[in-house]
């Protein structure tokens, strides 16, 4: 049981680390903390996590993204995750980035 949990934890860490590198390279600061990618500034924030589904033999990781702005909360699941990343780029990219 512990080996399965450890494999899942390592897989989540790997996915989030890769995503953090991509976002940081695009000028979007974020930090990894407790199996989440986080970014917070004055009124806006985003949080990316992965949830596991299935059983031990056939497990998959599904991304979830939540964006909080001063006006609303936007949630993106695995079907709309790429749209959510585009929204993150739109909202959180630094002013000097193209």
The set of residues, in sequence order, having a beta carbon less than 8 Å from that of 53 and lying 6+ positions away, is 59, 60, 61, 62
pLDDT at 97: 45
**pLDDT, tens digit (0-9, with 9 covering 90-100), for 30-66:** 999 888 999 988 788 999 999 988 776 677 899 999 9
Tell me the whole-structure pTM to 2 decimals.
0.84
66 close to 74: Cβ distance less than 8 angstroms? yes
**pLDDT, tens digit (0-9, with 9 covering 90-100), for 2-15:** 788 888 889 999 99
Q: Are strands 73-76 and 60-68 parallel, antiparallel or unpaired?
A: antiparallel
Residue spans of the domains in the chain: they are: 2-92
């Amino acid at each position: 049981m512990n080996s399965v949990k450890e494999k899942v934890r390592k897989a989540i860490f790997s996915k989030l680390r890769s995503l953090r590198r991509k976002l940081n390279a695009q000028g979007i600061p974020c930090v990894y903390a407790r199996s989440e990618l986080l970014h917070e500034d004055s009124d806006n924030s985003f949080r990316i996590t992965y949830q596991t589904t299935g059983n031990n033999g056939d497990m998959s990781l599904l991304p979830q993204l939540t964006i909080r702005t001063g006006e609303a909360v936007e949630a993106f699941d695995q079907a709309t995750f790429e749209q959510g990343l585009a929204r993150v780029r739109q909202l959180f990219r630094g002013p000097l980035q193209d």
